[in-house]
Structure 1
């Protein structure tokens, strides 16, 4: 018997047009992106609770040199009950098929969606986040 193929987990700026392979498009920012009308956003789900807190976001905004510290602090926040529930929803969606995490930040390598993707990839084998 062949092993089940893992669903893809992608990260994309919400300002990029939707693609056929996006699967479930899930916004993982706490704030709604500027300049995007809700009816034209093409999102399937908005999970604010999996986003970094406002305090964490403000502390590290525009400081890519602090990426490791941001990631560590964010991963700690992901242990909170509301974040755990949202992360469980993401993991369940990922078991159903492809998921694209949407974000609005300008920095494509240092943002919460990219950090969340790393965290989810570590935890996707379990039924729920630790």
Structure 2
């Protein structure tokens, strides 16, 4: 079980579990046949306006985090619940393109999913 993040360019490993690309665009130079991406959930990526505003500037990351979580919660997507359910039964790896492994949308999304997973597991019968 669990949710983690990984650059999409890193080799796939068996313990990745479900590999989910959470960027709006397909990564440059990566062939779909060899990418080992199980799902490409563009709807969970930050809006174009937010992505352009952030522009991968670490100094803006905490404000980006707040705005991105606000976007995700305002536009509640069924994919969020689906990923929490998948993480309840096995590993989920959120794949991202950014070079910065600490300041990107996948990190924020993973934190949000972990919070939701804890809520599910803490409910009676949540761990099944």
Whether TM exceeds 0.5 here: the answer is yes
Contact 2:19-2:36 at 8 Å conserved across structures? yes
2:59 is matched with 65
1:15 is matched with 9
1:87 is matched with 80
Shift of 1:41: 0.9
Q: What is the aligned-residue RMSD (CA, Å)?
A: 1.2
2:111 is matched with 118
1:100 is matched with 93
Q: Which range is displaced more, 95-104 or 83-92?
A: 83-92
After superposition, give the CA deviation of every residue in 1:31-83 in whole Å (9 maximum; x if it has no partner): 111111111110111111111111101100131101110000000011134x5
Gaps of 5+ in 2: 121-128
Contact 2:56-2:104 at 8 Å conserved across structures? no
SS in 2 for 1:12: strand
Contact 2:20-2:38 at 8 Å conserved across structures? yes
Gaps of 5+ in 1: 1-6
